C-alpha cells in the first residue's frame, strides 16, 4: 500500500499500532480445524494521518485477499441490529424524504436494506454486488416500490444506470483507494450530477475510545474517523449534511449532497483523536494483560469458557487472546456457520442450544449492544454462567 494517506494524500504518517500475522480473511469459515489453522496471514500496522484524521493499515496487501469461498458477515440474525436497520429506513424515508426516487446501492449484499427502502418509500432501487444473483425488476410492497439486482461491481462506466440517491454501507473500509472509488461514483452520475448519498462505515473513534480493538481486522484497510470521512466527501465536491456516530457509536453515518452549495464546516479538531491514538498502544497492552489473567482458569482447564458471536469481533478476540488454546467453542445464531471452524485460531462454531449440555462457566459477549439479548436467551435455557463483555 502507498505511504501517503488514501483520503488526503498527506505524506507524513505516524505508525502507532501493530499486530503481526493475523488471518487475512476471517469472514470465510473453514470446514475443518486444520484448514482453519492454515489460513493465510498478514500484518496490520496502523498509520495515523495528522492532516485529516484517517487511520489505515500501511502493510495492507490486496493480493493476499482471496474472497472466493462462502463470505458471510450478515448481522441480521440479531434483533438489536434489525431494530437499528429498521429505524434507519424510517429516517431515510420520512426525514430525508427518499420517496418515489431512484436508488442505487453499491455493494448491496443480500439487498435487504435496499428492499426495505423501496418497499416503505415506494422507491425504485438497483443494487450491485459480486455475491448476489441477477434479478430483473420485481415489485416490492403496495407503495409501488420495485427492485433490480445486478451481480458484479458498479463502475464509472455505468452512466446509464438510474439513481440520484446513492447508498453504500460497510464497503469503503475495504477499498484500498477510497478517493478513486468516490470519484468513480461521481463520474457515473455525469448525466445528472446532482445526487444524495448515504454512506456507513465502522467508526474508528469507537475502536480507540471504547476499546473496540476487536474491530481491527485485516480485511479493513481503512479506518474512518468522523473527520476523515467528512474530509473525503468535501474533497470531491459534496456538501456534508451530517456525519454522526450511530449504533452505540460503532458506526459512522454520513448524509451528503453532490451539486448542492457547500456548507461551511467548522475547522476539524483532531485533538481528541491524536490523544486517543497516542494512548492506544499502551491501553491495548493493559487490556490484553487483563484478559489473559481472566482466561487463565480456562487455559488450566478449571473453567469452561465460550465466546458468543462468530463475527469479526469474536474471531479477532480468539486470534489475539487464545492462540487456539483454552477456549474450544464459539457460539452463533446463524445456522450457516454451525459446525465450521474459526480462521487462524481453529475453534468450532456451535449453536446456543449446544450450551444446555456444555454448561459453560463464562460466556464472553463480543458486542455490548447484544449483552441483554444474550443473557436473556441463556436464562431462557436455564443457564446462569457469568456473562462478560469483551
Name the site residues for Zn ion (rule: CB under 5 A).
Answer: 5, 7-8, 10, 49, 51-52, 54
CB of 48 to Zn ion, least distance (A): 9
Kindly tell me which of 7 and 374 has the beta carbon lying closer to Zn ion: 7
Kindly tell me which of 5 and 342 has the beta carbon lying closer to Zn ion: 5
CB of 348 to Zn ion, least distance (A): 42
Kindly tell me which of 10 and 336 has the beta carbon lying closer to Zn ion: 10
For 77, 87, 263, the CA distances from 266, given in Å and listed in that order, are: 39, 29, 10
Phi and psi dihedrals of 171, rounded to 5? -120, -45
Kindly tell me which of 49 and 331 has the beta carbon lying closer to Zn ion: 49
CB of 213 to Zn ion, least distance (A): 22
CB of 208 to Zn ion, least distance (A): 16
CB of 273 to Zn ion, least distance (A): 12
Residue 53, C-beta contacts closer than 8 angstroms, at least 6 positions apart: 225, 226, 227, 228, 231, 268, 270, 273
Which string of b and e fits 304-327 if b means at least 16 CB within 10 Å?
bbbbbbbbbbbbbbbbbbbebebb
Angle at 77 between CA 75 and CA 78, to 5 degrees: 80
Kindly tell me which of 7 and 168 has the beta carbon lying closer to Zn ion: 7
CB of 293 to Zn ion, least distance (A): 38
**By the 8 A CB rule, do 316 and 323 touch?**
no
Residue 296, C-beta contacts closer than 8 angstroms, at least 6 positions apart: none
Kindly tell me which of 8 and 246 has the beta carbon lying closer to Zn ion: 8
Q: Report DSSP letters for 160-221, one per residue.
A: TS--SEEEEES-GGG-S-HHHHHHHHHHHTTTS--EEEEEEEE-HHHHHHS--GGG--TT--
Amino acid at each position: 500500500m502507498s505511504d501517503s494517506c488514501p483520503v488526503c494524500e498527506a505524506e507524513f504518517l505516524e505508525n502507532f499500532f501493530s499486530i503481526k500475522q493475523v488471518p487475512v480473511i476471517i469472514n470465510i469459515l473453514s470446514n475443518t480445524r486444520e484448514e482453519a489453522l492454515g489460513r493465510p496471514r498478514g500484518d496490520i500496522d496502523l498509520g495515523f494521518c495528522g492532516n485529516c484524521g484517517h487511520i489505515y493499515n500501511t502493510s495492507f496487501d490486496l493480493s493476499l485477499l482471496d474472497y472466493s469461498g462462502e463470505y458471510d458477515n450478515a448481522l441480521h440474525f440479531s434483533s438489536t441490529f434489525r431494530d437499528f436497520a429498521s429505524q434507519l429506513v424510517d429516517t431515510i424515508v420520512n426525514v430525508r424524504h427518499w420517496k418515489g426516487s431512484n436508488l442505487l446501492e453499491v455493494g448491496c449484499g443480500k439487498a435487504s436494506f435496499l428492499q426495505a427502502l423501496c418497499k416503505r418509500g415506494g422507491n425504485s432501487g438497483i443494487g450491485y454486488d459480486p455475491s448476489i444473483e441477477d434479478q430483473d425488476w420485481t415489485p416490492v410492497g403496495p407503495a409501488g416500490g420495485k427492485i433490480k439486482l445486478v451481480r458484479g461491481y458498479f463502475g464509472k462506466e455505468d452512466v446509464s444506470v438510474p439513481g440520484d440517491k446513492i447508498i453504500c454501507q460497510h464497503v469503503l473500509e475495504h477499498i484500498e483507494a477510497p478517493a478513486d472509488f468516490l470519484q468513480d461514483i461521481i463520474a457515473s452520475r455525469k448525466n445528472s450530477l446532482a445526487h444524495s448519498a448515504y454512506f456507513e462505515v465502522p467508526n474508528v473513534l469507537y475502536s480507540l475510545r471504547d476499546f473496540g480493538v476487536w474491530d481491527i481486522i485485516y480485511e479493513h484497510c481503512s479506518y474512518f474517523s468522523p473527520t476523515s470521512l467528512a474530509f473525503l466527501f468535501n474533497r470531491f465536491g459534496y456538501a456534508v449534511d451530517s456525519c454522526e456516530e450511530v449504533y452505540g457509536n460503532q458506526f459512522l453515518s454520513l448524509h451528503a449532497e453532490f451539486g448542492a452549495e457547500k456548507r461551511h464546516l467548522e475547522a476539524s479538531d483532531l485533538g481528541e483523536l491524536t490523544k486517543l491514538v497516542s494512548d492506544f498502544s499502551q491501553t491495548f497492552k493493559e487490556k490484553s494483560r487483563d484478559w489473559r489473567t481472566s482466561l487463565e482458569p480456562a487455559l488450566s482447564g478449571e473453567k469452561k469458557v465460550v465466546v458468543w458471536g462468530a463475527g469479526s469481533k469474536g474471531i479477532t478476540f480468539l486470534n489475539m487472546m487464545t492462540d487456539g488454546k483454552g477456549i474450544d467453542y464459539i457460539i452463533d445464531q446463524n445456522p450457516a456457520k454451525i459446525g465450521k471452524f474459526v480462521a487462524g485460531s481453529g475453534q468450532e462454531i456451535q449453536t446456543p442450544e449446544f450450551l444446555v449440555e456444555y454448561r459453560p462457566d463464562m460466556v464472553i459477549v463480543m458486542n455490548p449492544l447484544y449483552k441483554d439479548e444474550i443473557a436473556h436467551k441463556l436464562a431462557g435455557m436455564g443457564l446462569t454462567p457469568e456473562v462478560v463483555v469483551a
